[in-house]
Amino acid sequence: MKQLFFMTMLFLTISYCSQKNSVIKAQRMEKASMKDFKMPKMKFEVEDKESSGSELYRKLVPDSEGLLTELTEEVIDAIYFKDSEVVPQPQEIKLVLYCQKDAVAATSSRNGRSLIRYSTDWIEKFYARANNDEAKVLNETKGVLLHELVHVFQLQPQGIGNYGGGGEYWLLIEGLADAVRVATGYFKPEDRPRGGEFKKGYRYSGFFLNWLREVKDKDFLRKLNLSTRTINPWSFDAAFKQILNDDNITLEALWDEYMTAIGDR
Ligand SMILES: [Zn+2]
In this predicted structure, which of 35-44, 73-82, 228-237 has the lowest mean pLDDT? 35-44
| 42 alpha carbon – ligand 1 mean position (Å) | 20
| 248 alpha carbon – ligand 1 mean position (Å) | 31
Closest to 126 measured CA to CA, from 22, 48, 20, 53: 53
The pLDDT > 70 percentage for the chain reads: 87
CA distance 101 to 239: 38
| 152 alpha carbon – ligand 1 mean position (Å) | 10
Closest to 179 measured CA to CA, from 236, 264, 118, 95: 236
In this predicted structure, which of 30-34, 137-141, 261-265 has the lowest mean pLDDT? 30-34
How distant, in Å, are the alpha carbons of 37, 51, 56, 117, 125 from that of 19? 40, 6, 9, 20, 11
- Identify the pLDDT of residue 84: 86
Going along the chain, which residue ranges are E strands? 3-9, 41-46, 92-98, 103-110, 113-119
Residue type at 75?
A: V
| 6 alpha carbon – ligand 1 mean position (Å) | 6
Is it the case that residue 32 has pLDDT exceeding 80?
Answer: no
**Residue-range domain boundaries for the chain:** 3-153, 163-261
| 38 alpha carbon – ligand 1 mean position (Å) | 23
- Identify the pLDDT of residue 37: 85
- Backbone phi and psi for residue 126, each to the nearest 5 degrees, phi listed first: -65, -40
Beta bridge partners of 8: 105
- Identify the pLDDT of residue 87: 86
- Identify the pLDDT of residue 36: 72
Going along 3-125, which residue ranges are E strands? 3-9, 41-46, 92-98, 103-110, 113-119
Mean pLDDT, the chain, as a whole number?
Answer: 89
User: Among 1.25.40, 1.10.3470, 1.10.150, 3.40.390, what is the CATH number of 3-153?
Assistant: 3.40.390
Q: Would you say the C-alpha torsion 204, 209, 213, 217 has a positive or negative sign?
A: positive
Q: What is the pLDDT confidence band of residue 161, given thresholds at 50, 70 and 90?
A: very high
User: Residue range 213-224: average pLDDT?
Assistant: 98
| 107 alpha carbon – ligand 1 mean position (Å) | 8
Is it the case that residue 200 has pLDDT exceeding 50?
Answer: yes
- Identify the pLDDT of residue 20: 34
Q: Find the helix or strand (DSSP H, E) in which 78 lies.
A: helix 64-79
| 18 alpha carbon – ligand 1 mean position (Å) | 26
Q: Answer with the residue of higher pLDDT: 31 or 80.
A: 80
Is it the case that residue 262 has pLDDT exceeding 50?
Answer: yes
- Identify the pLDDT of residue 34: 62
Cβ contact 115:107 at 8 Å: yes
| 144 alpha carbon – ligand 1 mean position (Å) | 9
**DSSP category for residue 17:** S
| 207 alpha carbon – ligand 1 mean position (Å) | 14
CA distance 143 to 155: 20
Burial of 261 (0-12, 13-18, 19+ CB in 10 A): exposed
Is it the case that residue 13 has pLDDT exceeding 70?
Answer: no
The pLDDT > 90 percentage for the chain reads: 83
Is it the case that residue 24 has pLDDT exceeding 50?
Answer: no
| 22 alpha carbon – ligand 1 mean position (Å) | 29
Q: Number of helices (H) and strands (E), helices first, in the chain? A: 9, 5
| 247 alpha carbon – ligand 1 mean position (Å) | 30
Q: Which residues surround ligand 1, an ion (CB under 5 A)?
A: 6, 8, 174, 177
Cβ contact 235:171 at 8 Å: no
How distant, in Å, are the alpha carbons of 27, 41, 65, 95 from that of 70? 10, 13, 9, 14
CA distance 170 to 172: 5
| 210 alpha carbon – ligand 1 mean position (Å) | 16
| 242 alpha carbon – ligand 1 mean position (Å) | 25
| 169 alpha carbon – ligand 1 mean position (Å) | 12
